[in-house]
Amino acid sequence: MEKCMGLRYIRPMRRLTDKEPPRFDMLYRTNALRKMSAEGVDVLVIGGGITGAGIALDAASRGLKVGLLEKNDFASGTSSRSTKLIHGGLRYLKNGEIGLVREVGKERQIVFSNAPHLVKPMPILLPLRASGSLKPFMTSVALWMYDRLANVQKSERRRMLSAHAVSQQEPCIKVDDLLGGGLYVEYRTDDARLTLEIIKTANAFGAHSVNYAGVKGFLYGANHLGDNQVTGVRLFDHIHQQEIAIQAGVVVNACGPWVDSVRKGAEAITGKKLVLTKGVHIVVPQSRLPVQQILYFDVPDGRMVFAIPRGTMTYVGTTDTVHDQLVDDPVATQEDIDYLLKAANAMFPDAGLSAADVQTTWAGLRPPIFEPGKGPSELSRRDELFVSSNGLVSIAGGKLTGYRKMAERVMDVVMPRLSKDTQKKSSFQCVTENIALGSQPFARASQVEQLIAELDEHIDHDHGPVGLAEEWVRRYGAEARSVFQEARKQYGDSFDGDAGLRAELRHALSHEMVIRPTDFWVRRTGMLYFNPGAITPDRIDWVVEEMKASLGEGLLDWEKEKQEVHDLLESHWAKTPS
């Protein structure tokens, strides 16, 4: 992994190699649970989303023994259902959250530097219309402030465009009352894969990360902080149907929308509480909404909506409504879909989008802190820490982009709460700013393009899918080599789309802790969201058969797992072959 010199982590400056990626599979999972149960950990993180992943990496890189538990799959909650942008939150300037904009604005560049295969810079166009809420002068001032607050590099700083220039760049925009536009740069990402990459990097520093392990209760006892302290958890292993106890120096609750539920279970819910809001996105063919860059535009109710191109699709979102049901898999309603179609058609009237164009959807719950008198879009996205009298540390709120600083703040609170002996063997200093992500991290962004070009040379374009090298490198980073070698080993140089998908599945089973078919279709490949038409009945069947052969016929009810995929496609309004 990284070279450690004192407390400074140096990025690897080496060529990418053919080294086999670390195993992250069922054997790893069994050993991790056994080791945590037998030895305990210094820090136990509950929640396998982006926040929990960041905390696990920060803690492990400080030299601590770390465990991470997730009741479902990694990133199965909010962290796979965001707008999939690493951005500074321009709209928070409107709410006067200068500090938040400054912090996450600067974090954009750090996340990009640490994971250039997953974080891609893209221009964002703000169309300015006479009938809209955004006016040229104030928009120019806001973008200028944003450039300074976020310390944006000169090549990515804002430019103001004329109406003619905007219509030339984006011909599908409504031109009736177009005044011009503002152009700036943010970063598109794959939120679920970013979360997984952070977890795998934490594992490389010695953390033990386990999915499908839900916390059912807490262990209590006396320690150096006092009596009746939280000293561990009782978890239920949903795969092997067994209960396990794990002792911990400090337990951190990083459960996103479920933070208050966990606090309540630990009898630690005092002070501020969360309010849940739901954000929905719809996905349409890029040919039906052919935007050339990210569009960020206001809609009649005063909210702001994105239209973001990705591959052969464009996704539009998000809604922002209060949601009073805490569910594992929130879904888009017809009302949500109609709202976004109306918003898109107001900006792109020639597109004439309808429900028939929607290929799939996703919905996620956000966990902002409740503030009296404020609507969903007015609530702050700033994170907040709660330390209960029994020692449970909880983190709520926050943004995808700010995960690293959130983790640093959590660990700065956790460190003084650990025993003196534990403190002596670890570091109080956060070093994650300089930890590149992945088993073979890229030293610089140019290496990403080099690897894409290298793999592309070896793909038979007469048989293989177009753009496969870029797709795999953007998804797996340097581990794309391993996927490519698996495909070539099994199927030769002229492998087709099915063969490539089988190679991805085998890689995921060995190196990405895939346990259920939905893990693969949704969070490892993102196909549910960006290529639902490829999830054919035949592929659903052979993915289940391959997983059954690899993981064992008795591990799960595989017919039920197969039906889960069909049910998921239906609940997400996915257009798939019959």
pLDDT category at 3 given cuts 50, 70, 90 is very low
Q: What percent of the chain has pLDDT over 90?
A: 74
Same structural domain, 396 and 258: yes
Q: Write the DSSP assignment of 518-540 as a string of letters.
A: HIIIIIIS-HHHH-GGG--HHHH
200-214 pLDDT, tens digit each: 999 999 999 999 999
Same structural domain, 227 and 282: no
Same structural domain, 510 and 562: yes
Number of domains forming the structure of the chain: 3
State residue 464's pLDDT score. Answer: 63
**Per-residue pLDDT at 16 exceeds 50:** no
Same structural domain, 250 and 318: no
Name the H helices within 292-419.
Answer: 334-347, 403-414
Same structural domain, 558 and 526: yes
In-domain check, residue 439: no
**Per-residue pLDDT at 524 exceeds 80:** yes
Please give the angle made by the CA atoms of 106, 110 and 115, to the nearest 5 degrees: 145
Looking at this protein, which amino acid is placed at residue 246? I
Q: Taking residues 145-170, what's their average pLDDT?
A: 91
Residues paired with 43 in a beta bridge? 66, 250
Same structural domain, 511 and 363: no
CA-nearest of 276, 251, 215 to 388 is 251
In-domain check, residue 406: yes
Pair 537, 569: CB distance under 8 Å: no
In-domain check, residue 440: no
Looking at this protein, which amino acid is placed at residue 2? E
Domain that holds residue 295: 119-189+275-372
Same structural domain, 501 and 561: yes
The last residue of a domain, from among 372, 392, 422: 372
CA-nearest of 198, 185, 156, 261 to 48 is 198
**Tokens 């449970």 appear where?**
392
Same structural domain, 389 and 366: no
In-domain check, residue 109: no
Ranked by mean pLDDT, the top range of 90-104, 297-311, 399-413 is 399-413
| Rounded-to-integer distance, Cα 482 and Cα 389, Å | 48
Pair 268, 390: CB distance under 8 Å: yes
Same structural domain, 488 and 531: yes
Residue 299: give its domain's CATH number.
Answer: 3.30.9.10
In-domain check, residue 8: no
Q: How far is CA 157 from the centre of its chain?
A: 26
Between the alpha carbon of residue 177 and those of residues 135, 136, 472, 520, 541, the distances in Å are 12, 13, 42, 45, 52
State residue 90's pLDDT score. Answer: 76
CA-nearest of 104, 87, 311, 70 to 198 is 70
460-501 pLDDT, tens digit each: 776 667 789 999 999 999 999 999 999 988 887 778 889 999
| Rounded-to-integer distance, Cα 398 and Cα 384, Å | 8
Residue 210: give its domain's CATH number.
Answer: 3.50.50.60
Same structural domain, 545 and 499: yes
Q: How far is CA 57 from the centre of its chain?
A: 15
Q: Taking residues 295-302, what's their average pLDDT?
A: 90
How many Cβ atoms are within 10 Å of 370's Cβ, its own excluded? 12
In-domain check, residue 525: yes
How many Cβ atoms are within 10 Å of 558's Cβ, its own excluded? 18
Same structural domain, 364 and 252: no
Between the alpha carbon of residue 542 and those of residues 464, 502, 545, 546, the distances in Å are 19, 9, 5, 6
pLDDT category at 132 given cuts 50, 70, 90 is confident
Mean pLDDT over each residue of the chain, to the nearest integer = 91
| Rounded-to-integer distance, Cα 369 and Cα 100, Å | 15
φ, ψ of residue 317 in degrees (nearest 5): 175, 165
Q: What percent of the chain has pLDDT over 70?
A: 93
Q: Taking residues 421-436, what's their average pLDDT?
A: 96
In-domain check, residue 90: no
pLDDT category at 10 given cuts 50, 70, 90 is very low
In-domain check, residue 114: no
413 Cβ neighbours under 8 A, 6+ residues apart: 385, 387, 393
pTM: 0.94
